[in-house]
Every structure is written in structure tokens, then in C-alpha cells.
Amino acid sequence: MNDSPSDSYRDTYCVIGAGTCGLAAARNLHAQGIPVQVLEEQDKLGGNWYYGSPNSSMYDSAHLISSKRLGSYIDFPMPDDYPDYPGHRHVLSYLQSYAAANGLERLIEVDSPVTRVAPAEGGGWDVTIRGRGQRTYRGVIIANGHHREAMFPELPGDFDGETLHSSQYRRPDVFKDKRVLIIGGGNSGCDIAVDSVPFAARVVHSMRRGYYFFPKIVMGKPIDEINELTHKLRMPLPLRRFVAGLMLRAHVGRNTDYGLPEPDHKLFESHLIVNSRLLYHLKHGDIVPKPDVAKLRGDTVEFADGSEEQFDVILYATGFKPAWPFLDTEAGAPSYQEMMGLYASIFHPRYDDFFVAGLVQPDVGIWRLADLQSQLIARVIVAQENAPDVAAWFRARTRGPLPKLSPYAYQASERHRLEVEHTTYERLMRTEIARLDRQNARQKTGV
């Protein structure tokens, strides 16, 4: 049974998800006077940063891999007393403060899992909430995050022991006195491998390819602040690579010094691995590096180099696939392929009242980019209401060629389909916002 008449939401935009990006969307729409309601499936805001909730993949030791200065909303910096790399408890508190400071709490409806989203007859979107029925909203903004569906590699054979995905991992004591294999060389895999050292009987880390490992701190500063300086100085890409390569050679050395494969790609062509402790533990023998897994056989794992080991637990830190199980594609909602091909990862070519916030994987924190995405979405909605000619002009842009979101040729993998270089993407957002503002100004003055 509906808890209120469906038509009462006809003037309201629905934001799905009260995490980092959903909060930014709500704040920027609200600031423009656009009626907005946030539907959150958990019992409080925070999204993935709500540690311990059933839908969070956060583990107890998780910290940002971008610094607080580059991991904040544009006009809402993280507190000065936060460490350079805040943990998940800091981040959740920060999100709660952001919501409170912007009056968002009254706009959020918790315990409201969305089960269906489809175009409504006569315009707008039908949104079904478990236990509360269907409502028709003026438009929707999808902000449910992209750490939704755990991905596992297809490996020959079967493993008899315990199997986990990084999304299920919370604390390292689950590995106590066990022989542990971590598969996956991303940031989570490296963090969990390090986590397990004091507890596990043996820790082996399997990576199928070589990566560039950046220390978190260089010359007393967070590594992303050092990297940001090269962007501000507008260094060309070859020079940025040269500078970063020199720094890595001085602070890290070669991968082969740690028993790791050398990267098969250029710097910045894969998501950055930022971890200061993995290499330390490799040098101490606490973590044993291995190549890709070739075969599973009972409690034994065979690796690509022909070596074999027995394990009690395999943890797959092999990433996630974006998922929108509530989108009713048979009723006309966007398909997975369409969602992965949106203009600037935001705008749909067929629907002017359907937007996505946060469907990018930047090389720094997503906060600034989600903020700018939401500012742009809000301006587009205002133009649709008050300046239809401007809205039509922008609509034509979103039906044109997709803009380039990065100067890098990222590795061809599911993991990198959402990858963007933050400076390029931020410049695109600011350019689009400025263009809309100029068009609006011309509309008002008649010039």
C-alpha cells in the first residue's frame, strides 16, 4: 500500500542513494530551489562509508587513498583536525556533517530500498519502494554507487576451502592461523594482504600483472598533493610521467626488487595503487608474491610459474561491476550498455529527466567531481524549467560525440571502464557549467 499519493511527488526529483554522490546531488538541487527527495535503502546516510551495514563493502582498517584536501566537497573541506588520510569513521562523520550543514536530513527517507524504476505514462518516472508502494517523480538521479556487484575471475578447477570477496571482508582476525591467498593487486587487495600479516599463518598475494606502487607520503606530504602540483604547473604528460618515474625510482625502486612483475603499461594507464606498507612486508617476507592463478585443485592452488601451495582461504579482491537491478529495462529504463555510455557519464540521450551522479572512477577522491556533476545537473534542470531554448541547446550537445574524459589510454578491463583523470574531468564539468551560465545570461538579456 502506498504511504502517500503517487501524484504528490510529481514536482519532485528522486535521488537514489544517500552516499557521497547522492548527498552532493541533493545539496545542489536543493540550493537551486528544486524539490528533491533522497531514497536510501540503509537505516542512515553514508552509503559505502557506513561501515558494518549490510550493503557496505567497507573493512575496519579502510582509509582514504586520496588525502583529505583532495577528498572533500568543493566548499566543505574536511576538518583541520582530521589526519591527512581519514579512516571510514572520519568519513562517515564528515558526510553526516555535510548533510546537517546543508539541511539535507529532512530530505532523506531511510529504510527505503528502491525495487523498480521505469518511465511513467505522461512523463516522469515511476519509482517503487519496497513496502511503500509506487510513486511518480518528476525525474530521477541515480547515485547508488558502483561497488555493487562483486566480480570473480573465471579460474579452472575447484577450491575446497573458504572463499571470500573483498566486499565481505571486515576484520583480519577471520584469517587467524590460516594459510591465506589474496587474489588481486588493487588497493583493497594490497590493504587486506597487509591487514592479514599479524593473524595469518601465511600470506600469499597473487597479481596477474605488474602495477606502479605509490607511497602515501613523499617528503612529508600526501602523494596526491605532490601529483596535484604537476597538474597546477600544467606539465605535459611526458614530463609528468618522467617526474613520477624519478620519484618512484627514488622511493620505491623496481618491482623486481620485491619479487613483483614490472608493469606492462605506462604510468597512469591503470588505477593508482597507493600503499606504503605492502612493499615493507614483501621485503620482510611477511607477504609472499605470486603470479596469476593457473588452476584450483582441492586445497591446492597452482600458479602461472608452475609453483603450488595449499591454502585454507582465498580472498578475491577482484573488483566490482556497476549494477542497477531496479532499472526496468523492459519498460524502457536504460540498459547496462546505455548506462556505461552516457554523455560525460551523466546524461542519457533519450531522457532529459534521468541523470547519474558518481558513475566515474577518478584518480583522486570523488567528492569534488560529484559536486561539480551535481551543479551541472541542477543547472540543466533549471534551464528546462525557465529557459527551454537553453535546455534544447544543451540537449543537442548530449546527443553528440562523447567527450574525452582522460588523456590516458587506460588498460582494457572492466575495472577501467569508469576511469577518469580528475583534472580533465573537472575541466569538462566547469566548462559545461560556464557554457550553460553564458547561454542563460544571453537568454535573459536577449543578446
- Average the pLDDT over 164-181 and give the result: 97
Asked if 182 and 306 sit in the same domain, the reply is: yes
User: Which of 294, 316, 338 is the last residue before a domain boundary?
Assistant: 316
Q: State the distance between the two ends of the chain, measured CA to CA, in whole angstroms.
A: 52
Distance, in Å, from the CA atom of 53 to the CA atom of 63, rounded to the nearest integer, reads 17
Asked if 195 and 281 sit in the same domain, the reply is: yes
Asked if 312 and 163 sit in the same domain, the reply is: yes
Total number of domains constituting the chain:
2
Asked if 120 and 157 sit in the same domain, the reply is: no
Residue 269: CATH number of its domain: 3.50.50.60
DSSP state of 43: S
The answer to the question of residue 18 being in a domain is: yes
- Average the pLDDT over 330-335 and give the result: 97
User: Which of 286, 316, 346 is the last residue before a domain boundary?
Assistant: 316
Task: Band the pLDDT of 413: cuts 50, 70, 90.
Answer: confident
Asked if 56 and 165 sit in the same domain, the reply is: no
The answer to the question of residue 230 being in a domain is: no
Residue span of the structural domain in which 288 resides: 152-215+252-316
Asked if 344 and 380 sit in the same domain, the reply is: yes
The answer to the question of residue 246 being in a domain is: no
Q: E strands of 366-428, at which residues? A: 419-420
Q: What is the pLDDT of residues 281-299, one digit of tens each?
A: 999 999 999 999 999 999 9
> Residue 394 pLDDT more than 90?
yes
Asked if 65 and 25 sit in the same domain, the reply is: yes
> Residue 7 pLDDT more than 70?
no
Residue 313 φ then ψ, to 5°: -140, 140
Rounded to the nearest 10 degrees, how much is the dihedral formed by the CA atoms of 85, 87, 93, 94? 20
The answer to the question of residue 1 being in a domain is: no
Q: What is the 3-state secondary structure (H, E, C) of the chain?
A: CCCCCHHHHCCCEEEECCCHHHHHHHHHHHHCCCCEEEECCCCCCCHHHCCCCCCCCCCCCCECCCCCCCCCECCECCCCCCCCCCEHHHHHHHHHHHHHHCCCHHHEECCCCEEEEEECCCCCEEEEECCCEEEEECEEEECCCCCCEECCCCCCEEECCEEEEHHHCCCHHHHCCCEEEEECCCHHHHHHHHHHCCCCCEEEEECCCECCEECCEECCEEHHHHHHHHHHCCCCHHHHHHHHHHHHHHHCCCHHHHCCCCECCCCCCCCCEECCCHHHHHHCCCCEEECCEEEEEECEEEECCCCEEECCEEEECCCEECCCCCECHHHCCCCHHHHCCCECCCECCCCCCEEECCCCEECCCCHHHHHHHHHHHHHHHHHHHHCHHHHHHHHHHHCCCCCCCCCCCCCCCHHHCCEECHHHHHHHHHHHHHHHHHHHHHHHHCC
Asked if 374 and 272 sit in the same domain, the reply is: no
Asked if 78 and 139 sit in the same domain, the reply is: yes
Asked if 163 and 298 sit in the same domain, the reply is: yes
- Average the pLDDT over 113-124 and give the result: 96
The answer to the question of residue 233 being in a domain is: no
The answer to the question of residue 239 being in a domain is: no
The alpha-carbon radius of gyration of the chain (Å, integer) is: 23
Asked if 108 and 168 sit in the same domain, the reply is: no
The answer to the question of residue 221 being in a domain is: no
> Residue 430 pLDDT more than 60?
yes
Q: What is the pLDDT of residues 128-159, one digit of tens each?
A: 999 999 999 999 999 998 887 899 999 999 99
Cell numbers placing 47: 552509503
Distance, in Å, from the CA atom of 283 to the CA atom of 427, rounded to the nearest integer, reads 41
The answer to the question of residue 74 being in a domain is: yes
Asked if 35 and 140 sit in the same domain, the reply is: yes
